[in-house]
Amino acid sequence: MTPPRFAFIKARWHSDIVDEALFGFQEYVADVDVFEVPGAFEMPLLAQRLAPQYAAIVCAALVVDGGIYRHDFVADTVVKGLMDVGLRTDTPILSVCLTPHHFQETPHHIGIFKDHFRIKGKEAADAALAITAVHDGLQKCA
């Protein structure tokens, strides 16, 4: 049996933090194809284009309040878009898209969020492995 293929899409904004989710994911899943997009808004479209080729796709972004737009609107729109892609394509699309209430680009906050993203990356790997196992089990039962 061929092992499942996974894709990891990450936004460039705050890449020093977002990359930690990828590193956490790779602690459990070594063979992953990595794609980078400019920002969170671009993730659903790329996920939709990649979905037929992968068992599951993980998308990671840090959406912060930049004072120009409502960051909660952006995060909500992105996560809904990712869910939509999963439902349309029957490919699990997992989100590590976080939007903190308070984020300041200080060493302290950056450290906190790097640690948090590393943990979320590990959780995404666990979820990707679990959901593909469930999916494989459903196919065997059918």
| Neighbouring C-alpha atoms within 13 Å toward the C-beta of 62 | 29
Residues with catalytic annotation?
70
CATH numbers and ranges of domains, the chain: 6-141 (3.40.50.960)
| Alpha-carbon distances, residue 86 vs 72, 89, 113 (angstroms) | 21, 5, 27
Kindly report, residue by residue over 10-67, the tens digit of the pLDDT.
999 889 999 999 999 999 998 899 999 999 989 999 999 999 999 999 999 988 766 6
At 133 the pLDDT is 84
Kindly report, residue by residue over 91-137, the tens digit of the pLDDT.
999 999 877 666 777 888 888 889 999 999 999 999 999 998 875 55
Q: What is the pTM of this model?
A: 0.88
The answer on pLDDT for 139 being more than 80 is: no
At 141 the pLDDT is 44
